[in-house]
Every structure is written in structure tokens, then in C-alpha cells.
Structure 1
Amino acid sequence: MYSITEGYAPFQQYQTWYRVCGDLHNGRTPLVVAHGGPGCTHDYVDAFRDIARGGRAVIHYDQLGNGRSTHLPEQGPDFWRVPLFLAELDNLLAHLGISRNYALLGQSWGGMLTAEHAVLRPEGLKAIIIANSPASMALWLQAAARLRAGLPPEVQRCLQEHEAAGTLNSDAYRQATQVFYQRHVCRLTPWPEEVTRTFAAMDADPTVYHAMNGPTEFHVIGTMKDWSIIDRLAQIQVPTLLISGRYDEAAPEVVQPFKDQIAGAEWVIFEQSSHMPHVEERDACMRTVESFLDRQPTVL
């Protein structure tokens, strides 16, 4: 088994909660896990702690505004920008003393953050895993529209009617969005407890999600709506693994630029998964990540 340590990293005048599974200083390159959203919590990506069983420490953290980290519901959209979360990540790495040797896995928005971090070429970054992430929000929205067009006609009508009326908090609209989520976010029935825990936390404080994304996965009106990293991807020079699911809302066309622009990038598509292979095909996903890290000469 492995040890578990929890703590808080002071960040500006705030606190970033983190948890370390395993020994950070046993000589092996630790894996840092960045959750999605923006506005989720670490809970739904908790499965990656399985990797610690093999002796590689795994660090989860709740990004600012989420989970057990400092919440700031009074902050407006201009506060919630990519540089804030890049600074928070750098601060956490320094706090843990691993800035010179670490691997980074980001899921969904966390993968976007991972790419933003990697293009800066930090000295200690040894490898990255970008899981279920878009290379641009324009591609994400195009894919979302295509997938949404495949929903039952009555579901599509419900979504359109409530979006036109501005009644996005209605039970009917929530039920209609759940049809999309069940197909393209997590196909397990029922959802694992850690996934429902994250969604409950987002419902309790949707500040970050609403500011950066918007009300739903396919109705993006927040500060990230024009985001793209495609023209910067060639700057990434560390070993890269791409992960997606066959039914993923991060459809192949939104992942393809990572494959095209990052030299040597590997891409694994999980055939029974949507947006969460780490829970939908948990064992296979963990083996894939572990194997990738173990094969890299840059990773101890």
C-alpha cells in the first residue's frame, strides 16, 4: 500500500488543497493530476491514485475556487483566467519541492492547462498526459453541436426552447442535458460516487465553471470561449500521451491538433468510454498511463 499526506499550499492570499499518495522522494518521478471543469474538483479523477500502487507518487489538488481550496464566489469572470491557474500550479510544485522532476496529467480543462504549462518548457517537466481535452474551444463547440444533433429530437427541442427562454436552471433543461452527459461524459449507470460528488460540488458553487465555461458543456459563453493553443503546440518538447474515448465529447477532431503538432505524441482511444476512461475503463486506462510513463527515458 502507499502513504497518504494531505495539506495546503499557501498561494497569494489563498490556500490550495493537495493530497499526496505515495513517497514523493523515493527517486521516482511523481505524477501531478490536474482536474477539469474549469470548476470541477479532484474527486472524479481520484482513480489515478491507483498508479501509486506501483511506487510512483501521485498528487491530486483542488484548483482555486473549487473543492477544499479557497472559494471566491465574489470574484467576477476577469479573475478566472489561465495565468491564475498556471501560477497556482507552479506554486504547488515549488511547495512540494518537485519543480525539477515531475510528470503532469490533465483531464479535460486540466489537459488544456497542462498544454499551457508545457508550451512554457519548464525545466522539471518530464512528460505529459493530455486526457479528453480540446486543442481549441472552437473545435470543441463544433463537436458539441455535432453530438448534440444526434440526441433524440424531443431532447434537442427541449434544450433549444429553454436556451431561447433563458430557463437553464429548470428541471426539464437539466434532464435534457443529462441525456447528453450520459452519452458523452460518463456512460456508466449509475455514475460512480466520486463523479456524482464532483457534480454536486459544482452545483453548490458553480463560480469558476460559469465564469470560464458557461452553464453547460455545449453552451460555452465564458472567458474560455475563444481559447486555442493550436498555434503554440509545436513548442511542447516532452513525451506526450493523448487519451480520449470513442464516445467522448472531446471528439477526434478536437484532439487531432495535439497529435499533429506535438512531435512524437502517442494517442490511445478507449473504445468503451466517453469523457472519463479513467472510470469507464479504469484498469485499462491506468495500465496505459503507467506503461507510457515507464517507457520514457526522461521519467525516473
Structure 2
Amino acid sequence: MRHPRGLALLAVITFAQVLAARPVGAEAPFRRPHMHRPGHGCQIAVGPVTVPRGTELTECTYVKFPGKRDMAVNRVRIKVSGGSHHVHLYRPADPTLDKPDGAELCNFALDFSVWQLILATQELNLDWKLPPGVAFHFRAGEQLAAQTHFVDNGLLRTPSGRGWALFNLYSMPRRKLTSYAGAFFGQDRDVVVPPHATSTATTRCVFPKPVRLLALTGHYHYRGVEFTAGTWDGTSGVQLYDQHGYLDPPFLRYSALDAPTVSGLQWQCTYDNPTDQTFTFGPFTEENEHCNLFAFYYPTATPDEFTTCVQKDGVVTTTVRGE
């Protein structure tokens, strides 16, 4: 890889309390994040998620999209309170799926053949406006799943013992829509981080057709020291993204003027492991490692397009879903 020069509705789901409540004398009381509801659009609140001290917890909250009409969303705000490892929003591949509102433990990645990614963030306060005419598609009343991973160990803390995520989805007039946005989930399931060593994990994939990038963000666990990502055409590429350390991974976004057209993507994670333990692919920040890339792009062939690129046993498989 070479370097270049360069709507107003509210759906609230409350999680069941897990294990023990916050102890007496703990840190400052938990505060639910607040945002004014969109004038045109909707708000979805998730939480509280109870995180026992010194642990981590991934839960899936099932909720229906609160809009009575299909919506084109061209601005997204996500506000998170707690030690957030990630917040994802999915829709089912089967549009007729209907799950009761509620929450359950879901530590592992959702099955991509059942659930399709729409949005992902690791930022505590994301405000993202897409280029003019580009929007995410939401169907009226459709089933959604919000996966939240809150941590109270290692480099992340949830001092109040509870986490929240709040989504504001801002709609645009359908007459101004020129293209729907799609989501990309890249996952290296072959990750191995040996003890007392610096190591890397690399994945490359080519898309069925070129697309323009809207945003990129990398994802690994506590051993990660650098995450790079860039274009890939099958033989070479240009670096676009570089993250150092674990905390505050960048959410790199593009405007209509500078959005690169790409034939594929590649990403590499560098790890430093001073311990006696070997870390392999898995969901827990202290026990496992990840090397995942999230990207968003346009145009799409269908309103709900979702692309996955998964490396497993040395084989990379790229699949376009929602067609």
C-alpha cells in the first residue's frame, strides 16, 4: 500500500437490569444522553444497558423503525454514554421478520445472512451529514436491531455501570434523492496475535463494481497499535486511513467533492502483545482480537444494499446482500 500526497418520533427500549446494581458510593450518577428530536426524521433510544463492574457486555435491542412512511436519511447523529466499544444498527435480510421489542445478550457478531448492517460508530458523539442527494433507506415500521458493546475494563470504563445510545435520523425530501448509501463490513476471522511479538493482519477484497466512499473507520481490540486502510484494485492500492493506538478511532468521512472511487478495499492491523497469551478472533476486548473495517459507500443497486468481505482460513469472500 503506497501513501498518497496527499421522524419526529421516539422509540425507547429499556434493557433488563443485569446482575448487580451500581454500588453505593460509585462515581457520579449516570446521565442519559440528550438530543433534540429531528424536526423531520425520528429518534431511537437504546438503554440503559447495565454493565457489571470490571466486565463487558454486548446486547441486541430489537425495535421497530418508528416512521409511518419510508424515509431517506441524509444526516445521522449518534450520541453514546458509557465505555462504548461499538454501536451498530442492523435490519433483517427478511423484511417480514418480526421480533418482540426487547433485548438479549449477543456477544458475537450477528449472522450476516440474517442481519444487514446499516450504521456503525465507535465515536461517543457522531454527527454525519451525507453529500447532497445521498441517503440511507429506512422502511416504515421495519424491524431493527441495535447492537451495543459497553465495557468497564482495560482502556474503556463505564463508571456509572450503565450505557446508552441515542440515534437521531434526519430525513430529506424524496424528490431530492439521487442515490442510496450502502454499508460495508470487513472482517478478518484469521487474526492471530502471538505472545511477546509485534504482528500484523491484512485483508484485501475487490468489489463487484466500483463505488464512491462516504466514510471509513477501523476497529480492533486492546493489542492494536495501528490500523491502516486504503483502496485495492487486485494488484495495488493507495492508503486512505491511518489510526494510531486504541482510543478514539477516526471516522473518516468524504464530501461529494473528494469522495474517492474505489474498486475494492484493503486494511491492515498492527498489534503489540507483551503478554504470554495468544489472542485470536473473538468478541471480548481483553480476551480476543479483531481486525474489522467499516465503510459506507454509494451508489447502490438497491435501497438496502450491504456488502461483506470476510477472510476465513485464508479465503476472502465478498458478498453483496440486500439485492
Q: TM-score if structure 2 supplies the norm length?
A: 0.27
* Larger-gyration structure (1/2): 2
Q: TM-score if structure 1 supplies the norm length?
A: 0.28
Higher strand share: 2
